[in-house]
Amino acid sequence: MTELLCVQGLCAGYGDAVVLDGIDLALDAGDSLALLGRNGVGKTTLLATLMGMTRLRGGTLRWQGRDLARLAPHQRAQAGIGWVPQERWMFPSLTVEEHLSAVARPGHWNAARVYEVFPRLQERRRNLGNQLSGGEQQMLAIARALVLNPALLLLDEPMEGLAPIIVQELQRVIRQLIGQSGMAVIVVEQHARLALAMTQRAMVLDRGKVVHASDSAALLADKARLDALVSVGGA
Ligand SMILES: Nc1ncnc2c1ncn2[C@@H]1O[C@H](COP(=O)(O)OP(=O)(O)O)[C@@H](O)[C@H]1O
Ligand SMILES: [Mg+2]
Ordered by start, the domain boundaries in the chain are 30-53+81-230
DSSP string, 217-229: HHHHH-HHHHHHH
Instruction: Look over the chain and give the mean of its residue pLDDT values, rounded to a whole number.
Output: 93
> Which of 97, 89, 67, 91 lies closest to 79 in space, CA to CA?
67
Q: Tens of pLDDT along 15-46?
A: 999 999 999 999 999 999 999 999 999 999 99
- Round to whole Å and give the CA distance between 235 and 224: 13
Whether the CB-CB separation of 23 and 13 falls below 8 Å is answered with no
Q: Residue 208's pLDDT is what?
A: 98
Cα(19) to ligand 1 centroid in Å equals 7
- Round to whole Å and give the CA distance between 112 and 118: 10
The answer to whether residue 181 scores a pLDDT higher than 80 is no
The answer to whether residue 60 scores a pLDDT higher than 70 is yes
Q: Tens of pLDDT along 90-133?
A: 888 999 999 999 888 899 999 999 999 999 999 999 999 889 99
Whether the CB-CB separation of 105 and 148 falls below 8 Å is answered with yes
Q: How many CB atoms lie within 10 A of CB 117?
A: 18
Q: Residue 235's pLDDT is what?
A: 44
The answer to whether residue 158 scores a pLDDT higher than 80 is yes
Ligand 1 contact via 39 beta carbon (within 6 Å): yes
**Treating both helix axes as pointing N-terminal to C-terminal, what angle do 134-146 and 96-103 enclose, rounded to 10 degrees?**
20
The answer to whether residue 206 scores a pLDDT higher than 60 is yes
- Round to whole Å and give the CA distance between 210 and 84: 22
List the residue whose alpha carbon is closest to atom 4 of ligand 1: 14
Ligand 1 contact via 208 beta carbon (within 6 Å): no
The answer to whether residue 63 scores a pLDDT higher than 90 is yes
Could you tell me the pLDDT band of residue 217, with boundaries at 50, 70 and 90? very high
Long-range contacts for 130-135 (Cβ within 8 Å, ≥24 apart)? 130/90, 130/92, 130/93, 132/90, 132/96, 134/161, 134/162, 134/166, 135/162, 135/163, 135/166, 135/169, 135/170
When mean pLDDT is compared across 145-159, 179-193, 204-218, the lowest value belongs to 179-193
The answer to whether residue 65 scores a pLDDT higher than 50 is yes
The domain defined by 30-53+81-230 carries CATH number 3.40.50.300: yes
Q: Residue 180's pLDDT is what?
A: 76
What's the sign of the alpha-carbon dihedral 196, 56, 78, 63? Answer: negative
Strands 209-215 and 201-206, by their bridges, are: antiparallel
Length of the chain, in residues: 235
The answer to whether residue 234 scores a pLDDT higher than 50 is no
- Round to whole Å and give the CA distance between 207 and 183: 29
- Percent residues over pLDDT 70 in the chain: 97
The answer to whether residue 233 scores a pLDDT higher than 60 is no
Q: How many CB atoms lie within 10 A of CB 221?
A: 11
Cα(47) to ligand 2 centroid in Å equals 9
